[in-house]
Amino acid sequence: MSDKKKILLAGESWVTTATHIKGFDQFPTVTFHRGADGFLDALKDLPFEITWMPCHEAQTDFPSDVEGLNAYDAIILSDIGSNTLLLHPDTWIHSKPTPNRLFALEQYVAEGGGLAMIGGYYSFQGINGGARYHNTPVEAVLPVTIHPYDDRIEVPQGLRPQAVGDHPILAGIEGDWPLLLGFNEVRAKPNAVVLAEAGDTYRNLPIVAVGEHGKGRSLVWTSDIGPHWLPNEALAWPHFAQLWGQALDWLTGGR
């Protein structure tokens, strides 16, 4: 039996459709994208058992209550909008009541679990406000407040997060951080601890912040863990796995 702490990563997948037009003719194609592969490969040697649940699976299989969530020491939501957790097919298609999984997440953390939200187009409030975590039980858990509008900040020229303060998550992390190409704008709550900021150009907005909720802990990384905001060079950063190992170790410390 593994003694590794168990992490559930939900999200980081998408499907694209394209129409190829060749003169008079056209044909459609569909592609499934696995946005978590690089992140999981970078963390494969850490002492954690990470289960990845793509978005299309999470709609039905994401735990519906605290008992199910308690199978994991921490939950990571990454690029998965609140509708995917709120609209189980039994409710969406068959008009049946189902548990509100956002409330379950809040209770899970209050009782000692860990919750992290990773940035992306369907994280925090997201593109066109579509992720819709503002004013939800998930926002209550996180160490940041979420804007009620499209909160993406695109940084095509790149930015290097600036580490601030002293915290176990930052132990041994030296030198320049890798370039990021975007992040979600959030505001740190008064009791939050900000560990990395976006720099003066972007009003020192949080990139990494942590906090506590009840007996549990929460963490945000407001940029992505996959394309396009996270370049491949960032995955190759010598401290990438170390930073995430220490982050997950801290996040699961409430168990």
pLDDT, tens digit (0-9, with 9 covering 90-100), for 134-156: 999 999 999 999 999 999 999 99
pLDDT digits (tens, 9 = 90+) for 12-25: 999 999 999 999 99
Query: DSSP letters of 148-184?
Result: SS--EEEEEEEE--EE-S--GGGTT--SPPPPEEEEE
- The parent domain of residue 200 ranges over 5-18+27-254
**pLDDT band at residue 3 using 50, 70 and 90 as cut-offs:** confident
Average of pLDDT values for 103-110?
98
Q: Give the CATH number of the domain where residue 226 resides.
A: 3.40.50.880
pTM of the model: 0.96
Cα angle: 166, vertex 41, 133; to 5 degrees? 65
Average pLDDT of every residue of the chain = 97
Alpha helices in 111-149 (DSSP H): 137-141
Share of the chain above pLDDT 90, in %: 97
Peptide bond before residue 228 is cis, with ω within 30 degrees of 0: yes
pLDDT at 255: 61
Judge whether 49 and 2 are in contact, CB under 8 Å.
Answer: yes
Q: What is the pLDDT of residue 165?
A: 86
Tally of domains within the chain: 1
190 burial type by CB count under 10 A (0-12 exposed, 13-18 middle, 19+ buried):
exposed
Task: Give 213-242 pLDDT, tens digit per residue.
Answer: 999 999 999 999 999 999 999 999 999 999
Let me know: does 126 contact 84? Beta carbons within 8 Å.
Answer: no
Sign (positive or negative) of CA dihedral 177, 182, 188, 192: negative
Q: What integer pLDDT is reported at residue 45 of this predicted model?
A: 96
> Strand 48-53 vs strand 152-159: parallel, antiparallel, or unpaired?
unpaired
